[in-house]
Amino acid sequence: MILKSDFDTFLQEIRPTKSMRDQMITGHQTLRDRLNAEEDLKPVLVSDFLQGSYRRHTAVRPKGDKRSDVDIIVVTKLHEKEYAPKDALALFEPFLDKYYKGKWRRQGRSFGIEMSNVDLDVVPTSAPAEQEYGILRSDAVTSDTDIVEAQDWRLNRSWLALNNRSRADAMVLLERAAGEAEWQAQPLRIPDRDANKWDDTHPLEQIRWTRDKNSRCNGHFVNIVKSIKWWRLEHYSETARPNGFPLERLIGEHCPNSIESVADGVVKTLEAIVSSYAVLVLTKGKPRLPDYGVPSHDVFDRITGEDFCTFYDQVKDGAVLSRRALDSDDRTESGNLWRQMFGTKFPEPPSNGSDKRGGFTPPTGPAAPGSGRFA
C-alpha cells in the first residue's frame, strides 16, 4: 500500500528539525558574513553560496551524535597560474584561526569547521571568467533557499530570492526570470591539496539537475532520496558506501520519471538498481557514474568493487521488503512492513488488521493547502 499520510509523517520525522535548521542557518550565515567583512580577504572574494544536500533539499536528520552539515562554496579571484592549491587554501587559515580557532581542520579540498551543533565545510575555488562574476553574485546563486522552498528557482540574473520579493519591481523581474534562458554555468575549480592540482566541480548543475528531476517525478524525487538515505542509516553503518552524493547520484540514475508516490518510487528505484547491475556484481565490478556537468568526474571513483557488491546485496533485501510492503492490501501488514524497512520513524499502523483500502488512506481532517507533499 502507498500509505501517503504515513509517508508524509515519516518524511517529516526524518527531516532536520526546526532547531537543527535554525542552527544550520545561523552557522552558515555567520561564517559568510564574517568572510565578506574580513578586510584581508575582501580583495580576493567574488561570491559565496550553499551547495550539497542542504540546497538540494535531500538532507536527512543526523542520527546519534552526528551533526547536521552545510557545504559552502567560496568563489575567489585566485588564478591557478599564480596559486598552487595549498597556497590558495593557506590564505584562509588566518581567518579560520581568528574566528574558529581549535574548531577547524584541513581537508583534502576544503576546510571543516566543527561547531557544537553543526559542521561547516568551506570549499574555496579558483577565479572563474570575469564575465561570470555577475551571475555568481546574483540571487539565483547566493540564495539560501532550497529547490523546494523556491519552486520557481531559475539560474538567471532576473530571479529573486524569497526574502527580496518585497521590491517594487519584484513581479516584473520574476516574470522576466520565468521567460529568460538559464545561464549555462561553467564548472568551478577547487584545490586538491594532496594531489597538488585544481579539479572541476559543478555544484550549480547538481542543484539544477535535481530540480528538474524532482519536477519530472511530480515532486517526489527529493523525498525518495531521503527515504532511501534513511533506510541506509537505519540498517547499515553511517559510513557504509555509497553514501552522500554518490548514493544520491545512483538514485537519480535509476528512479523512474512520472512517479505517483514516494512508496512506488522507493520500490521501483531499488528494483531498477538490482536489475541494472546483476551481471556487473558477478565480476565484483562497480558502475561508473559521471557527475552532473563534469562528465570526466566519476562520483563512484572512491568506491571499491567490494563496497558496491556489499551495497548491492543490501539493495536486493530492501527491494524485496519494500515490494512486499507496497503490494500488501492489508493496512496493518503493509504499515508493519514499511516500518520494518524504515524503522520507528515510520508510524506504527493500526492493529485492527485486514483493513483493506487498496492503498488509499482516508483523511483524518480537512486538507491544509501545501502541506505534506514536499515534507
**Residue-range domain boundaries for the chain:** 4-128+186-342
Q: Rounded to an integer, what distance in angstroms lies between the CA atom of residue 121 and that of residue 117?
A: 14
Q: Which of 6, 8, 48, 71 is catalytic?
A: 71
How far apart CA 103 and CA 36 sit, in angstroms, is 20
DSSP letters, 219-274, are: T-HHHHHHHHHHHHHHHS-TTPSS-HHHHHHHHHHHPPSS---HHHHHHHHHHHHH
Beta bridge partners of 124: 74
The predicted structure's pLDDT at residue 356: 55
Clarify whether 69 is annotated catalytic.
yes
What integer pLDDT is reported at residue 369 of this predicted model? 35
Q: Is 96 left (phi over 0), alpha (psi -120 to 50) or beta?
A: alpha
List 69, 144, 146, 291, catalytic entry: 69
Compute the residue count for the chain: 375
| 121 given a catalytic annotation | yes
Q: What is the pTM of this model?
A: 0.92
Residue 3, pLDDT score: 98
With cell 493500526, the residue in question is 350
d(CA 215, CA 108): 35
User: Can you give the pLDDT at residue 45?
Assistant: 98
Mean pLDDT, consecutive 10-residue stretches, the chain (375 aa), reads 98 97 97 98 98 97 92 98 97 98 97 96 98 97 97 97 97 98 95 96 97 98 98 93 97 97 98 98 98 97 97 98 98 98 97 55 39 35
Q: What is the crossing angle of helices 18-37 and 93-100, to 10°?
A: 130
pLDDT for res 353: 57
Catalytic entry in 119, 121, 139, 146: 121
Examine the residue annotation and report whether 33 is marked as an active-site residue of this protein: no
Query: If phi over 0 gives left and psi between -120 and 50 gives alpha, with beta otherwise, what is residue 339?
Result: alpha
CATH fold of 4-128+186-342 reads Beta Polymerase; domain 2 (3.30.460)
pLDDT at 374: 33
Task: State how far the Cα of 63 lies from the Cα of 199, in Å rounded to an integer.
Answer: 32
pLDDT score recorded for residue 372: 36
| Rounded alpha-carbon distances, angstroms, from residue 136 to 122, 294, 297 | 17, 18, 23
